[in-house]
Amino acid sequence: MRKILVTSALPYANGSIHLGHLVEYLQTDIWVRNQKMSENQCIYICADDAHGTPIMLKAHELGINPEELIEKNYKEHCKDFSDFYIEFDNYHSTHSDENKEYSSYIYGKLKEKEDIISKTIEQFYDDQAKMFLPDRYIKGECPKCGAQDQYGDSCEECGGTYSSTEIINPISVVTNTPPITKETEHFFFKLSNYNDFLKEWISNETTQPEIRNKLSEWLSEGLADWDITRDKPYFGFNIPDTKDKYFYVWLDAPVGYIASFKNYCMKHKINFDEFWNKDSTTELYHFIGKDIAYFHALFWPAMLEGANFRKPNAVYCHGFLTIDGEKMSKSRGTFFNARTYLDFLEPEYLRYYFASRLTSKIEDIDLNFDDFQSRVNSDLIGKIINIGSRCAKFVNKDFDDILSDSSENNDLIKECLSRKEEIIKNYELRNYSTNVRLISSLADKINKYLDTEKPWVKIKNDNDRVLVQKICTDGLNLFRILIGYLKPILPNISVKVEDILICEPISWANLDQLLLNKKINKFKPIIKRIDDEDIKSMKNFNKGEKL
């Protein structure tokens, strides 16, 4: 049995979960469910990223304190994730005692190694508001690509990161006036001390080739010291032995993985050190968006190395989501919150569609609603779910809900079962789209078998009744195999099928156990087709939403 700890990037606590976020959480959840079906100990943890300037700005805008804002959004995030069947083993917050403890601990360890240095720097200061300006309180032109209206720490257009004082034509978002510069003391993490370590770390199978190439570029350019300090006012953790200095959110945010796991350990009496000790033989995987690879594949492993913690086995990056071929945009009506989707459509439609598009590559995926509707209606419902419906109908009506005591088409059953290891491996390698295509092709063969045997014709002949029972028993066993293959993607549909077939929860270990000479329940509709009106109503509502 493998022991695995898995994380997704922490969603920011100043707003709602949207469909772009769900690419990552669904990708991770599917991966974790595959591990659990293999009876590995796989623990999936996450947390709200609850610190930083945007939290302060949003709370100020709403006239509430930051604690009220993050509590409200925490509850909303948990509900959205749960309704999409994303099953965290622990969901915590970075605004927690555990996170404060480990952020201070890691900082202390780095300081002991003289990896933390103090510098007097010039920082933007709003003389009208009488306050130093954190990065997100400054907007201007990106110093790397010239894009306008960018924040003072990173560019949304080119993905570049920079010091706030490098931004061109800066403006304070507090008073909308140009800031002045003023000296202040900041603490820096000497990331360059870990240059050799990081070169070795990324040379293994820890990152995808595209990310590894980009990291190598950054390393060859030389790593600058990383400013881990923000001046008061700031919503975050006070840096030990200071009064008005706070940890930059990107220091304590990844520590949230450790903190959330510590919180889980205390609840479930798990050995924390077994998973985070430097010599741990357990596995650790991070799933993140490609835009935060710099932090997760350079800053984070260097921090862990300096504090004597274990490093990730791999950091898996994914691309962005587009909607009908366009970037997600509120002004264009292509920005959908998770809750808006849930108010109109079934969560497993999206789970299935995203799975049909996701690969191990760092490629953007497009949610094309015409393709979405077609794949769900034609493939999932018309091709796969329909197998169960058409076979159960005869067993329920003509055979008193009892399956045959033997199968008829052992060759087809063996053929379908023979793909199990391939499917498990594809889930492990994050090649979900390959699995969806493979399962769909198996469904074609099963439907062809049923169409050839024509149980709806044979049932009219008393001499063929026993054969019809066997054919439909085959169909339902093959249906169970397909649903087992799709279980990491469609957990709720799987539960419904298990209830209809009155069988144990499907796992990789019991998938080949045929259901024979047993009672089943009456077949109930499992999931309805998507109507044109469902998508149209959601789009119209979204355009009229106050975003």
C-alpha 484/C-alpha 506 separation (Å) is 6
pLDDT number for residue 545: 55
pLDDT number for residue 30: 98
Alpha-carbon distances, residue 477 vs 398, 446, 502, 517 (angstroms)? 18, 11, 12, 12
Higher-pLDDT residue of 276, 56: 276
C-alpha 165/C-alpha 158 separation (Å) is 18
pLDDT number for residue 547: 38
Q: Are strands 116-126 and 180-189 parallel, antiparallel or unpaired?
A: antiparallel
C-alpha 443/C-alpha 48 separation (Å) is 40
Alpha-carbon distances, residue 474 vs 387, 422, 455, 459, 477 (angstroms)? 10, 22, 12, 15, 5
Residue 494 has pLDDT above 70, yes or no: yes
Quick: pLDDT tens for 164-211. 889 999 999 889 999 999 999 999 999 999 999 999 999 888 999 999
Supply the angle between the helices 386-398 and 432-453 in degrees, to the nearest 10: 40
Residue 329 has pLDDT above 90, yes or no: no
Residue 543 has pLDDT above 90, yes or no: no
Mean pLDDT lowest among 78-92, 227-241, 486-500: 227-241
Quick: pLDDT tens for 445-455. 999 999 999 99
The mean pLDDT of 65-73, rounded to a whole number, is 97
Amino acid 468 reads V
Spatial strand order in the sheet of 131-132: 131-132, 116-126, 180-189, 226-227
- Please, what is the average pLDDT of the chain? 95
Residue 546 has pLDDT above 70, yes or no: no
Residue 427 has pLDDT above 60, yes or no: yes
Domain ranges of the chain: 3-115+190-318, 347-501
pLDDT number for residue 158: 85
Closest C-alpha to 458, from 444, 443, 442, 471:
471
DSSP secondary structure letters along 396-418? HHHSTTB--SS-S-HHHHHHHHT
C-alpha 141/C-alpha 147 separation (Å) is 5
The mean pLDDT of 457-483, rounded to a whole number, is 96
Percentage of residues of the chain with pLDDT beyond 90 = 89
Quick: pLDDT tens for 516-527. 999 999 999 999
Q: 3-115+190-318 and 347-501 share one CATH topology?
A: no
Helix/strand/coil for 362:
coil
pLDDT number for residue 53: 83
Identify the CATH class of 3-115+190-318: alpha beta
Identify the CATH class of 347-501: mainly alpha
What is the CB neighbour count within 10 angstroms for residue 459? 19
Q: What is the pTM of this model?
A: 0.94
Query: With 0-12 CB in 10 A as exposed, 13-18 as middle and 19+ as buried, what is 422?
Result: exposed
